[in-house]
């Protein structure tokens, strides 16, 4: 009986064949498995004294001009007001000591007025989560590289 080249290779190099199958399985998992995250919250805090510094004419950079979020990973914006005065974010008044949670369910670009921001407003860009397949595999690879 004549054996195929794969069968001959498996017989000659069983450890290499097992390792190859394990590597293919790991790649398949990385490309298709859901991404688990510890928290979906992207937390930003308005520090104590922000209003006083701005009223004194000082430059206060506590938020970036653009906040980037990703659906399924970091898709909830949390603003904490540690200042002594209320601040407005969009249509919401955040009292001192309070937090405001804003979950996003649609990928888009959002613009909000913000009294704590030096320009009076900021943009929130919500990007779609990585799709299963090559995009998710590449996302996991970049996350692994940037964490190292």
Model confidence pLDDT, tens digit, residues 40-97: 899 999 999 998 988 888 888 888 899 999 888 888 999 999 999 999 999 999 999 9
Identify whether 1 is part of a domain. Answer: no
**140 in the same domain as 103:** no
Question: SS3 for 7?
Answer: helix
Residue 122 has pLDDT above 80, yes or no: yes
| pTM flag (> 0.75) | no
Domain co-membership, 76 together with 89: yes
User: Please, what is the average pLDDT of the chain?
Assistant: 85
CA–CA gap between residue 50 and residue 89 (Å, rounded) = 14
Identify the pLDDT of residue 26.
74
Question: Residue 93 domain-assigned?
Answer: yes
């Amino acid at each position: 009986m004549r054996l195929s080249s794969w069968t001959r290779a498996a017989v000659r190099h069983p450890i290499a064949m097992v390792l190859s199958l394990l590597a293919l399985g790991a790649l398949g998992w990385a490309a298709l498995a859901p991404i688990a995250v510890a928290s979906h919250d992207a937390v930003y805090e308005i520090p104590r004294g922000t209003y006083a510094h701005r009223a004194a004419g000082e430059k206060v950079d506590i938020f970036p001009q653009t906040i980037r979020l990703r659906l399924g990973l970091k898709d909830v914006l949390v603003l904490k007001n540690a200042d002594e005065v209320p601040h407005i974010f969009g249509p919401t008044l955040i009292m001192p000591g309070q937090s405001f949670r804003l979950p996003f369910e649609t990928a888009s670009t959002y613009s909000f007025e913000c009294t704590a921001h030096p320009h009076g407003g900021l943009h929130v860009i919500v990007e779609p989560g990585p799709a299963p397949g090559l995009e998710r595999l590449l996302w996991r690879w970049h996350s692994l590289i940037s964490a190292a």
